[in-house]
Amino acid sequence: MTEPTASTTRIPDDLCPTHRAHFVGWRRNDYNPWNPTEWPGGSHIMDSRTSHGERARDWDRKNLQAMDQVAAICRSGRSPQCDHPAASPTASTAA
């Protein structure tokens, strides 16, 4: 079984419009091998020992983490960015 990727991850139906836009932004944040950066490692210096495939997997992993965080923030019902926190299906169960 293959690992899920950011670009194939389903967009949750229960996100407000603002957090849905953030989620989609992370989903579209692809690694570009023609203009590479070291974002996942936190450095701006290219390391020639790291292959483009490894960098792409790191980017994808970081994007998935960011997408999970956006969804969790929206579902908490406590985000000031939420367009309708009280209407969130999980807001009443958030502690």
- Report pLDDT digits (tens) over 14-55: 999 999 999 999 998 888 787 766 565 555 556 677 788 888
Looking from the CA of 25 toward its CB, the CA atoms found within 13 Å total 10
Number of Cα atoms under 13 Å in the Cβ half of residue 67: 23
User: Coil, strand, or helix at residue 46?
Assistant: coil
CA 49 to chain centre: 26
pTM here is 0.75
